């Protein structure tokens, strides 16, 4: 029996950007993109970008090519709004003076490709920039003549008292924040830690574990050399190709003082001979108010040298499709509606929904 899976995560979005491929993140292990700050001083408690620089790079993924693809030259980065006055680069591709205190332009080498990248070198929240809502960094680029928009949320929160967050950093064999297994990325290493947001310190007494979503349920991940290697003491999970069938859902779990926190993870494998085109009615992963999502998935066989513009590729026949819905906020399996009931309101309530499509053929 053949099995292949595809996961598409959808989010509610008020004002309607359309295509949002993945954004890669490179930052020191144990640190994330959050800007939690003291309400009175606006001093950031976690993460201090002046000490731990973060590098963002677009990761547009082509299902037909079976790989992350390299954007065309000339893309633009935006701060909080896709508008001319929010563009970070000038006409020459240089960081504008307005943003030069916080950002630098660079590139990232990954899987034999070069990606445009933006380094955050200073805190985005301070006594001068007293931002109190989540910050969004956008990259608008093109691939094959098609425009796409990558989005990265940087959570911003005023912290008072003992508030906690489960933070998971990602490092591949390539050394970058890449959740795609490929010829140049033999494993994905997830490092989880429960952090006190007011100080940015790890809670070492928290019990960290990992779970895998399969057949509609979450099951504990066991230590299996060369497949899934778990180190509970260090809060790490290393995933190899053998553990990922197309695209999978895992989650980190932290338990402390009788409370539980989750973080959903989505590794993808480029080596599989078959892949799913999900046929989702929504381009990208942003669902506007009033939209209802529909699906029309098909399975294709990946051919060497095939690219996204190939038109002679026909769908593989004989597959049946099953769907599982998982809430991004908690990792809980959703059963009160199915894949045809995904709306803006339901996405808002669940903090986003990951839809896992599994194709099976005898």
pLDDT in tens, 76-131: 999 998 888 899 999 999 999 999 999 999 999 887 789 999 999 999 988 777 78
Give residue 26's pLDDT: 87
What average pLDDT does this structure show over 12-41?
67
Element (H, E) at 344: helix 344-350
Residue 63, C-beta contacts closer than 8 angstroms, at least 6 positions apart: 6, 275, 276, 277, 300
Q: Quickly tell me which residue has 């859902």 as its tokens.
A: 249
The continuous run of DSSP H or E covering 277 comes out as strand 274-277
Report pLDDT digits (tens) over 220-276: 999 999 999 999 899 999 999 989 988 899 999 999 988 899 999 988 887 777 778
Nearest to 290 by CA among 347, 250, 205: 347
Tell me which of 311 and 154 has the higher pLDDT: 154
The partner residues of 208 in beta bridges, in order of sequence, read 254
Domains contained in the chain, CATH given: 19-159 (2.60.40.10), 274-361 (no CATH)
- Residue 79 CA from chain centroid, whole number: 19
pLDDT of residue 340: 92
For 229, other C-beta atoms within 10 Å of its C-beta total: 18
Q: How far is CA 24 from the centre of its chain?
A: 8
What's the rounded mean pLDDT across residues 179-198?
Answer: 84
Q: Which stretch of 10-14, 61-65, 158-162, 296-300 has the lowest confidence by average pLDDT?
A: 10-14
Residue bearing the bigger pLDDT, 15 or 348: 348
Peptide bond into 9 cis (omega under 30): no
The listed range with the strongest mean pLDDT (11-20, 104-113, 175-184) is 104-113
Decide: 174 and 23 in contact? Cβ < 8 Å.
Answer: no
**Could you tell me if 95 and 103 are in contact, meaning their C-beta atoms sit under 8 angstroms apart?**
yes
Read off the pLDDT band of 15 (50, 70, 90).
Answer: very low
- Higher per-residue pLDDT: 174 or 25: 25
- What sign has the CA pseudo-torsion 130, 164, 285, 106? positive
Within 13 A of 100's CA, how many CA atoms are on the CB side?
A: 7
Mean pLDDT of 35-53: 82
Lowest mean per-residue pLDDT among 14-28, 80-94, 311-325: 14-28
3-state DSSP call for residue 346? helix
Residue 311 has pLDDT above 50, yes or no: no
CB contact at 8 A, 302 and 330: no
More confident residue, 63 or 182: 182
Closest CA to 123 of 19, 210, 47, 56: 47
Asked if 264 and 333 touch (Cβ cutoff 8 Å), the reply is no
Q: What is the pLDDT of residue 240?
A: 93
Determine the Cα angle at 191 with ends 185 and 195, to 5°: 150
> Which is more confidently placed, 254 or 299?
254
Confidence of residue 39 (pLDDT cuts 50, 70, 90): confident
Using the CB atoms, write b or e for 127-145: b if 16+ within 10 Å: eeeeeeeebbbbbbbebee
Sort strands 156-159 and 164-172 into parallel, antiparallel or unpaired. Answer: unpaired
Mean pLDDT in residue range 187-200 = 84
Cβ–Cβ under 8 Å, residues 190 and 170 = yes
H or E element, residue 322: strand 320-327
Reduced to 3 states (helix: H, G, I; strand: E, B; else coil), residue 345 is helix
Contact indicator for 257, 17 with CB cutoff of 8 Å:
no
What percent of the chain shows pLDDT beyond 70?
86
């Amino acid at each position: 029996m053949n099995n292949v899976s595809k996961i598409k995560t959808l989010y509610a979005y008020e004002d309607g950007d359309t295509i949002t491929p993945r954004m890669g993140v490179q930052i020191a292990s144990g640190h994330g993109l959050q800007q939690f700050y003291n309400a009175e001083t606006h001093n950031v408690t976690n993460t201090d970008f002046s000490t731990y620089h973060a590098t963002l790079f677009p990761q547009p993924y082509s299902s037909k090519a079976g790989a992350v693809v390299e954007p065309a030259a000339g893309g633009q980065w935006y701060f909080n709004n896709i508008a001319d006055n929010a563009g970070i680069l000038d006409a020459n591709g240089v960081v504008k003076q307005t943003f030069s205190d916080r950002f630098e332009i660079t590139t990232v080498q990954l899987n034999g490709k070069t990606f445009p990248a933006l380094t955050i070198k200073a805190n985005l929240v301070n006594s001068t920039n007293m931002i109190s809502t989540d910050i969004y960094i956008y990259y608008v680029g093109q691939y094959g003549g098609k425009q796409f928009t990558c989005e990265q949320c940087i959570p911003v929160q005023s912290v008072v008292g003992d508030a906690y967050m489960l933070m998971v950093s990602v490092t591949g064999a390539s050394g970058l924040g890449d959740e795609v297994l490929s010829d140049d990325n033999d494993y994905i290493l997830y490092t989880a830690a429960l952090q006190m947001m007011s100080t940015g310190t790890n809670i070492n007494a928290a019990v960290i574990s990992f779970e895998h979503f399969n057949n509609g349920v979450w099951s504990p991940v066991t230590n299996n050399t060369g497949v899934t290697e778990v180190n509970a003491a260090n809060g790490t999970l290393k995933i190899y190709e053998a553990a990922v069938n197309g695209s999978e859902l895992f989650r980190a779990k932290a338990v402390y003082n009788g409370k539980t926190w989750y973080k959903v993870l989505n590794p993808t494998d480029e080596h599989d001979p078959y892949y799913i085109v999900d046929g989702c009615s929504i381009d990208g992963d942003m669902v506007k108010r009033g939209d209802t999502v529909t699906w029309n998935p098909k399975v294709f066989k990946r051919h060497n040298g095939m690219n996204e513009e190939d038109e002679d590729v026909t769908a593989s026949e004989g597959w049946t499709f099953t769907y599982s819905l998982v809430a991004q906020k908690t990792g809980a399996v959703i059963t009160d509606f199915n894949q045809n009931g995904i709306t803006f309101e339901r996405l808002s309530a669940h903090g986003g929904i990951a839809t896992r499509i599994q194709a099976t053929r005898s």
